[in-house]
Amino acid sequence: MFSFTASMASPATRPDEGAFKTPKTVRVRSCGSNGGTPITIPASPFMKKLGCGTGVNVYLMNRVGKVNASPWAVKKINSKCAAKQLPVYQKRLNEEAKVLKGIDHPNIVGFRAFATAKDGSKCLAMEYGGEQSLNDLIEKRKGDGLKAFPAANVEKVALHVARGLQYLHNEKKLLHGDIKSCNVVIKGDFETVKICDVGVSLQLDENMRVADPQAEYIGTEPWKPKEALDDGGEITDKADVFAYGLTLWEMMTLAMPHLEMLEDYDEEEEEEDSMEISFDEDSYYERLGTRPPLDTEALGSSYRRMVELFYLCTEEDPKKRPSAAQVVQALENNTPLEKTASEVIVID
């Protein structure tokens, strides 16, 4: 079976209510400060749960007592993780804090603090401006019986995420490593668009290849390009571009890549004692790393630019995919986007 990071979800009912004891807030110091101002991180039950991911929960921290202070999003290790997995998640959170601290871009969620509680648990505080994940918006739109996002919304996400990737690739020499709708946050009616979750990013060399040949590309299975699925495949900045193309596809289809066999699943029709979802697993794995189908006729002419961009970014051969910088240039200037040195695809 496949596995992927859960989308933002509502808080689960707290187990063992009778044994629950009122927790206390913990005063901690932010990472990198030497005797700096202590930061008070409330215990998890006193913060609104914004969502969850693999091994972590994200909470809303209102900064009480701070005049005109904006709230923070606080990422904490899920205490229910198996003990053997805790070191892995702690390492990822440490790495994410280290990377995020060195990033300053309007299309990437900003660093605020990294703290260690008295019990040793790590807390990564990030900017929060009322955002929802793009995946949340996709699920809501689908639940409301709507179709693809308006072309203008798709184009805005395309440009702003590409700008964030250009900054990561060209200025910071970093591969994000897990681009998908869950890791794009939107404020209001697409007022701002930002990339989040850099915890599995990888360093790139001057040729845009992953610098450490032993480094593991994590990603999320349905969004992985072919080179990340094959043993010995060379990982470059174009791995992010492939996943970026699938993220645009998500906005135009309101679905997850390669998981269309689950669309007709009705949980209420399943037997109460059955927890299995039946689908063609072999077919699913065969499709991984390929371009999923897109009904361009149903979308209409207003989506032409985004359809062409999707096709370019999801080429199986990474050398045929554009760089993030090329995408930004084409979208900002409404100019042709070079597919290869000898072939040009016009986006107009």
Question: Does the structure show a pLDDT above 60 at 6?
Answer: no
Number of domains in the chain: 2
- pLDDT at res. 288: 95
Residue 165, pLDDT above cutoff 60: yes
Rounded Cα distance, 60 and 44, in Å: 9
> What average pLDDT score do residues 198-225 get?
94
Assigned domain for 272 exists = no
Is residue 29 in some structural domain? Answer: no
Residue 234 resides in a domain = yes
Q: What is the pLDDT of residues 233-284, one digit of tens each?
A: 899 999 999 999 999 999 999 999 998 755 544 444 444 444 455 667 888 8
pLDDT, tens only, 171-193: 999 999 999 999 999 999 999 99
The winner for highest mean pLDDT among 79-88, 314-323, 335-344 is 314-323
pLDDT of amino acid 265? 44
Strands (E) in 201-306, as ranges, are 202-203
- Answer yes or no: is pLDDT of 17 > 70: no
93 and 220 housed in the same domain: no
Cα 170 from Cα 94, distance rounded (Å) = 23
Beta bridge partners of 41: 26
Range of the domain at 192: 132-260+286-333
pLDDT at position 58? 85
**Where a domain ends, among 90, 105, 127?**
127
Q: Tell me whether residue 82 is in a domain.
A: yes
Same domain, 204 and 310: yes
Would you state the pLDDT for residue 253? Answer: 97
At 71-84, the pLDDT tens digits run 888 888 877 765 66
108-131 pLDDT per residue, tens: 999 999 987 655 677 899 998 778
- In this predicted structure, the answer to whether residue 64 has a pLDDT above a threshold of 70 is no
The reply to whether 153 and 67 lie within a common domain is no
Q: Which of 203, 200, 176 is nearest to 56 (CA)?
A: 200
Rounded to whole angstroms, how far apart are CA atoms 234 and 239? 9
Q: What is the CATH number of the domain that holds 48?
A: 3.30.200.20
Do 310 and 178 share a domain, yes or no?
yes
Higher pLDDT pick, 90 / 235:
235
pLDDT at 35 exceeding the cut of 70? no
The confidence score (pLDDT) of residue 204 equals 98
Tell me, what's the pLDDT at 21?
41
115 and 136 in a common domain:
no
Instruction: Kindly state whether residue 16 falls inside one of the protein's structural domains.
Output: no
Indicate which CATH number applies to the domain containing 295: 1.10.510.10
The reply to whether 77 falls in a domain is yes
Residue that terminates a domain, selected from 127, 151, 170: 127
Spot the catalytic one: 178, 197, 237, 240.
Answer: 178
Q: E strands of 130-188, at which residues?
A: 131-133, 174-175, 184-187
> Quick one: 242 and 142 in the same domain?
yes
Instruction: Calculate the average pLDDT of the chain.
Output: 81
More confident residue, 188 or 5: 188
136 catalytic per annotation: no
For residues 175 and 255, membership in a common domain is answered with yes
Q: What is the pLDDT of residues 280-292, one digit of tens each?
A: 788 889 999 999 9
Is 104 part of any domain? yes
Domain boundary among 105, 127, 149: 127
Q: Say if residue 307's pLDDT is above 70.
A: yes
Nearest to 55 by CA among 103, 19, 27, 93: 93
